[in-house]
């Protein structure tokens, strides 16, 4: 059976770690909800309890917190084929500290808490899928935060550009600064310096 593009994308993603029968695929898809957000709209805001975990099928979103001074700190840019959400809030039913805002018109597939739990009962293989997904996320998270340490902002910028050439052109310099962890002014200086080199 031919699936629509977004469903095919998520099935391909899941199939990297576990094999699903046609029946299981259909069952899984039935547990998902389609969500669309326009550029500048919020998928989620701080204070809310996360109702869904998301898989992005199209577009780009930024995940960020505001510190005590109201300055944004972007923890990730999520594009097609990425998973996103606030797992802490989703799991513990606590108010989130995060905002997730679309930087482009975006399409996502969400799974609700009820369906997430149901999923493990109905298709226990998904314990394995998520075990591996979380393990890989943990590995890259640890690597990233350990790699970033002891690099200057300029080095972190060069590294980001090298690693995510497709993302760097889709976001503003200001958002990149909030991700790298510096002020937009200093980001501007770095970019003009690096381009001069």
- Which residues form the interface with DNA (CB under 7 A)? 39-40, 152-154, 172-174, 181-186, 188-189, 191-192
The reply on whether position 149 binds its own copies by CB under 8 A is yes
Residue of 8, 75, 112, 183 interacting with its own copies (CB under 8 A): 75
With H, G, I as helix, E, B as strand and everything else as coil, classify residue 78: strand
- Contact (Cβ atoms closer than 8 angstroms) between residue 35 and residue 85: no
When CB distances are held under 5 to 8 angstroms depending on the partner's kind, the choice from DNA, its own copies, none that residue 173 binds is DNA
Q: What minimum distance in Å lies between the beta carbon of 124 and its own copies?
A: 7
The reply on whether position 194 binds its own copies by CB under 8 A is no
What residues contact 5, with CB distance under 8 A and at least 6 apart?
A: 57
Q: Measuring CA to CA, which residue among 50, 43, 44, 42 is closest to residue 94? A: 50
If the CB atoms of residues 19 and 67 are measured against DNA, the closer one turns out to be 67
Residue of 15, 117, 135, 172 interacting with its own copies (CB under 8 A): 135
The reply on whether position 186 binds its own copies by CB under 8 A is no
Q: Measuring CA to CA, which residue among 43, 57, 34, 160 is closest to residue 103? A: 43
Rounded Cα distance between 98 and 86, Å, is: 7
Rounded Cα distance between 10 and 25, Å, is: 10
Residue of 45, 138, 186, 193 interacting with its own copies (CB under 8 A): 138
Q: Measuring CA to CA, which residue among 59, 107, 60, 81 is closest to residue 15? A: 81
Residue of 91, 114, 172, 193 interacting with its own copies (CB under 8 A): 91
The reply on whether position 69 binds its own copies by CB under 8 A is yes
Token digits for 28? 């899984």
With H, G, I as helix, E, B as strand and everything else as coil, classify residue 74: strand
Q: Which residues bind its own copies (CB under 8 A)?
A: 65, 67-69, 71, 73, 75, 87-88, 91, 97, 120, 124, 127-128, 130-131, 134-135, 137-139, 141-143, 145-146, 149-150, 181
């Amino acid at each position: 059976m031919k699936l629509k593009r977004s469903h095919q994308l998520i099935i391909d993603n899941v199939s990297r770690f576990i094999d699903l029968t046609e029946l299981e695929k259909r069952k899984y898809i039935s547990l998902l909800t389609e969500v669309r957000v326009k550029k500048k709209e919020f998928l989620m805001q701080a204070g809310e309890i996360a109702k869904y975990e998301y898989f992005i099928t199209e577009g780009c979103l930024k995940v960020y917190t505001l510190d005590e001074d109201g300055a944004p700190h972007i923890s990730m840019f999520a594009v097609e084929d990425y998973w996103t959400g606030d797992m802490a809030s989703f799991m513990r039913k606590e108010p989130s500290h995060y905002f997730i805002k679309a930087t482009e018109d975006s399409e996502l597939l969400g799974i609700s808490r009820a369906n997430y739990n149901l999923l493990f009962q109905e298709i226990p293989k998904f314990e394995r899928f998520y075990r591996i997904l979380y393990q890989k996320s943990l590995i890259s998270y640890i690597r990233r935060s350990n790699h970033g340490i002891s690099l200057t902002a300029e080095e972190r910028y060069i590294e980001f550009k090298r690693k995510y050439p497709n993302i760097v052109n889709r976001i503003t310099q200001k958002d990149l600064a909030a991700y790298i962890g510096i002020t937009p002014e200093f980001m501007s200086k770095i970019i003009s310096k690096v381009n001069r080199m």
